[in-house]
Amino acid sequence: MKGIKGAIHQDYFQPEVEPFRKYIDEGGVPDFATIKPAVAVPGCPANGNGMLRTIALMALVALGVLPASVLDRKSFLDEYARPLFIFQNTVHEQCPRAAWYAAGVYREYPGQPNAACLYSVGCKGPWSHCPWNKVGWVAGVGGPTRTGGVCIGCTQPGFTDHFEPFYEPMNFTPVGRSAAADVALGVGIGGIVAGAIAAAATALSKKKEGEGEKKEQK
């Protein structure tokens, strides 16, 4: 991925950043002395609600209102140091247009006046992690896919280079109605076959048990 390493990995900023580096690289629960929390709230721009919620959480821990274990590196942050309670799920998983994706209904061109899925016109929702298309950008209002724009992957490493051009789809095959039906049929057939094998094995086992009992009676 393009870009430079963050400040916590720059020798120039040592030793001041060492407590933050230890938290990110080695994990553990911060003690706000030798280990201090460093958290990423990415975006273009970063969402104000996300920043406020993150800062408020850390402040409550620092004041002793919440236990420090709340900020345990492994359970609090993902691999890119983003708060899991905000960035755990993808845009796609929370998108209000997900029903159209499942039905295989996609926009034919950007700006088409319908509620169809935006993947075909470049939406990067399947790769991007943030909830703003679900909860809104400001006070429950806004969010790219809610207002007809594509997700451009701004919360992901490699942005912007890895997600350009914004209005062209990435190399990914969406699941439409027929494909979803094929998957469901395959799962159903697999279940039937597995069930038949299990039933046959049970019947054979019972048969052998019955033969054994008859031999003992003789």
Question: Over the stretch 4-30, which tens digit does the pLDDT of each residue have?
Answer: 457 778 888 888 889 999 999 999 999
Q: What is the average pLDDT value for the chain, to the nearest integer?
A: 80
pTM of the full predicted structure?
Answer: 0.70
Identify the CATH class of 90-174: few secondary structures
Opening angle at CA 108, ends 176 and 149, nearest 5: 95
Written as one string, the DSSP assignment of the chain is --S---GGG-GGGTTTTHHHHHHHHH-----SSSS-------BTTB-HHHHHHHHHHHHHHHTTSS-GGGG-HHHHB-TTS-BHHHHSSBHHHH-TTHHHHHHT-B-SSTT-SS--BSGGGT--TTT-B-SHHHH-SBTTB--TTTTTPPP--TTSTTTTGGG-STTS--S-----HHHHHHHHHHHHHHHHHHHHHHHHHHHHHHHHHHHHHHHHH-
Q: Where are the domains of the chain?
A: 7-87, 90-174, 178-213
Adjacent-strand bridge partners of 90:
129
Asked if pLDDT for residue 84 goes beyond 50, the answer is yes
Q: Per residue in 155-185, is it b (16+ CB within 10 Å) or e — as a string? A: bbeebeeebeebeebeeeeeeeeeeeeeeee
Q: How confident is the model at residue 57 (pLDDT cuts 50, 70, 90)?
A: very high
* Cβ contacts of 12 within 8 Å, gap of 6 or more: none
Structure token digits, residue 39: 């958290």
Answer with the residue of higher pLDDT: 140 or 188. 140
* Cβ contacts of 162 within 8 Å, gap of 6 or more: 1, 2, 153, 156
Asked if pLDDT for residue 64 goes beyond 80, the answer is yes
Asked if pLDDT for residue 195 goes beyond 60, the answer is no
The phi-psi region of residue 213 (left if phi > 0; otherwise alpha if psi is between -120 and 50; otherwise beta) is: alpha
Asked if pLDDT for residue 130 goes beyond 50, the answer is yes
Phi first, then psi, for residue 131 (nearest 5°) are: -105, 5
Find the largest Cα–Cα distance for the chain: 90
